[in-house]
Amino acid sequence: MIGTVMVLLQKGYTQREAKAKIQKAQNRRTDSLQRAEHAVLQYNKSHPETDSALILTLSLSELTKKLQEGSLNPEEVFYSYMEKTLDLNKDLNCCTGILLESFDQMKTLDSNRKGLLYGVPVSIKENYGYKNYDSSCGVVINLDHPAKEDSVLVEVLKKQGAIPFVKTNIPQALLNYECSNPIFGQTLNPHNPLKTSGGSSGGEGALIGGGGSLLGMGSDIGGSIRLPASFCGICGFKPTPGRLSSQGLSSIYRGQISVPSCAGPMARDVDSLALCMQALLCDHMFSLDPTVPPMPFNVQIYQSSKRLRIGYLESDGYTQPSPSMARSVREVKALLEAAGHTLVPYRHLNLEYAIVELIVKGILADGATTLLQKLEGSPVDPSLKAQIAPYALPIWLKKTLSFLLKPFFSRASVFLQGLCGVGSIQDLWKQHAAVEDYIQETIAEWRKCNIDALLCPVTGPAYNHLYCGKLSSAASYTVLFNLLQFPAGVVPVSTVNAEDEEELKHYKGVYQDQWDKLFKQAVSGGEGLPVGVQCVTLPWQDELCLRLMKEVEQLVKQSKA
C-alpha cells in the first residue's frame, strides 16, 4: 500500500527539487529565529529591569488591563513572550517561523491603543495568511507562494492592537491530528515529549500549553482546535462556521462543504477565548468580509447565570472513551448538578452512519484524489503514511478489501466503502441533502430532549507518537460537531491518575477490533497528562457555549481549592 502511495506522490517534483524547496523553507525559518534571538538579546541588555517572569504569569485579562492603564508597556510584554517562544521552540519544535514584521509593528502600535487586544502578542497557525509568508499546510507544492496580503482575521487582530508574532506548526496536509510534516518536522507535547501535541493546530497547542503564547488562532475541521487543546491542557473553541471570517486561511483543498472548517481561538482560560471572540466580532471584520453575519459578541449571554438543562454522554457508542475521559465527564456532571443545573442522558443519532456516509464521504467525496494531488512531490511524513495508504488504492481494490474485512473488522470495511467517494455529481447532491437532513434531525432531537447544551468527552489523553494516522476513528468525539455545524469548546478539568491507568489495562472497546486495540496503546502511559471535557451548543449560540465552558472551568477550580 505504501509503495502505491509513494509512486503516486513522486509524479510531482523530483526528489531533488522537493529537497531543495524544503531546505529553502527551513533556512527561512532558521534565519527568522536567529534574527529574533539577536533582537531579544539586544533588548534584554538595554532593559535589564524587565520582569519577564511576572509578565508570563499574567492572564490575558490581567495583561490587557495593565497594558491599557500603562503599568506595563507593549515592548516588555512582546520581548518576554518572544524570548519564551524561542526557548520553548528549541524543545518542542512548535514554530514554523517568527513574523519579523512584528518588531516593526511595535513602533506604530499606539495608533490602536483603544483596541481590546492592545499590546497582546498573538500566535497564528501556519495556514493563516500573513503578507509575504507562505501558508504551506505542510506540503511542498505550497512552498514559495507567499500571501499577497494578510488574512481578514490577521488584519482585525492588528486593528485591535494585537501583535501576531509567530506562525506555528501543523501536520502534513492538515487532515491529521498528529503534528508533523516533512518541511518543519515533528512538534512535541509540552507535558511529555513522548506524546503528540495533537493537530492540526498542534503547534498552537504546544506553544500555549508550554507558556510561549497566551492567545493563539487555530482552525478546526474535525477537532483541529479541540484535540490539541485536549492533548496540551489548554482551552480551545470552534465557533459556528461562518461566525468568523475564513478569508485568507488556506486549506489543503477548497470546495468541500459537507464538513466545514472554521477559525477559532486557543488560550489558557475561557475568558481569553471570550475576549478574543469579542475583539474579532467587530465592525472592522464585518466590513472586510460582508459574508460574515454582523453579530457582535453578546456579553450578556456570556455572563448569564441562568440555570441550564444540559444533555450529557460518557461514550459516543463508537469509540469507547479512555477511563480518564469518562471519569472527567462524570465529575463535571456532578459539579454542574450541585450548582443547580439539570443534567439528562443524551445519545447521538446513528453515529456510525454519520461518520461514514456523511463525514468520510463528505471530506473525501472525490475518493481522496485532490488530497493525493496536493501531496505530489512531498515526501510522505511517517505520521501520515498509515492514514493515506488506503486512499491511494484503486476503487475496485477498496471495494474488494471492504468485502473481505466485513466479517471480522466491520468498521474498517464500511470505512473503505466511504473512501470510494460519492461517485457522481448527482450522488454528491444527495450527500449534501443527507447532511442537511441529519443536522435538522439532530436539532429536533435536542428540542425533544429540551436541552440547552451538551457535555461530552473529548478524545484524550495525548497519544504516543505515530498513532493518530492509524486512528481517524477516534476523532468521532469531535468531528461530529463539524458536520453538525454546532459550536464546541474544550476545557481542561483533570489529569490522568494511577487508577485510570490501571482501569485502562481492562479496556476492550465498543467493537473490540483492531482500532480499539490501537486506541488503548495510543493513550497508554498517560499518567499526569491533562484531560478535558467538551461543551456544545446549537448553531449561533457561541456565547452560551463559552458561558458553559466558563462555568465548568470555575466549578473545577473551586472543587480543587
Q: Looking at the annotation, which residues are catalytic?
A: 125, 200, 224
Question: How many CA within 13 A on the CB side of residue 187?
Answer: 37
Question: CA 194 → CA 209, 474, 508, distances in Å?
Answer: 15, 20, 24
Buried residues in 152-173 as b, exposed as e (16+ CB within 10 A):
bbbbbbbbbbbbbbbbbbbbbb
- CA–CA gap between residue 315 and residue 321 (Å, rounded): 6
Which residues partner with 147 through β-bridges?
A: 131
| E strands present in 154-283 | 163-168, 180-181, 185-186, 215-220, 235-238, 262-267
- CA–CA gap between residue 265 and residue 229 (Å, rounded): 10
Please check if 322 is assigned to a binding site. Answer: no
Please check if 222 is assigned to a binding site. Answer: yes
Question: What dihedral angle (degrees, nearest 10) is formed by the CA atoms of 150, 152, 157, 161?
Answer: 70
Question: What dihedral angle (degrees, nearest 10) is formed by the CA atoms of 373, 376, 380, 384?
Answer: -10
Residue 186 and residue 99 in contact, taking contact as beta carbons nearer than 8 Å? no
Residue 133 and residue 181 in contact, taking contact as beta carbons nearer than 8 Å? no
C-alpha 14 chain-centroid distance: 32
Please check if 211 is assigned to a binding site. Answer: no
| E strands present in 298-390 | 309-312, 342-345
Task: Give me the count of residues in the chain.
Answer: 561
Please check if 200 is assigned to a binding site. Answer: yes
φ/ψ of residue 122, rounded to 5: -125, 135
Nearest to 93, CA basis, from 35, 146, 170, 175: 170
**Sheet architecture: strand order including 488-495:** 95-98, 163-168, 121-125, 215-220, 262-267, 235-238, 488-495, 530-536, 453-457, 309-312, 342-345
Three-state secondary-structure class, residue 529: coil
Handedness of CA 418, 419, 423, 426 (dihedral sign): positive
Q: Which helix (H) or strand (E) holds 62?
A: helix 60-69
N- to C-terminal Cα separation, the chain? 53
Residue 321 and residue 315 in contact, taking contact as beta carbons nearer than 8 Å? yes
Please check if 221 is assigned to a binding site. Answer: yes
Three-state secondary-structure class, residue 476: helix
Mode of pairing for the β-strands spanning 262-267 and 215-220: antiparallel
Please check if 218 is assigned to a binding site. Answer: no
Any long-range contacts for 37-42 (C-beta under 8 Å, 24+ apart)? 37/86, 39/79, 39/82, 39/103, 40/79, 40/82, 40/83, 40/86
Binding-site positions read 174, 200, 221-224
Binding-site positions for substrate read 174, 200, 221-224
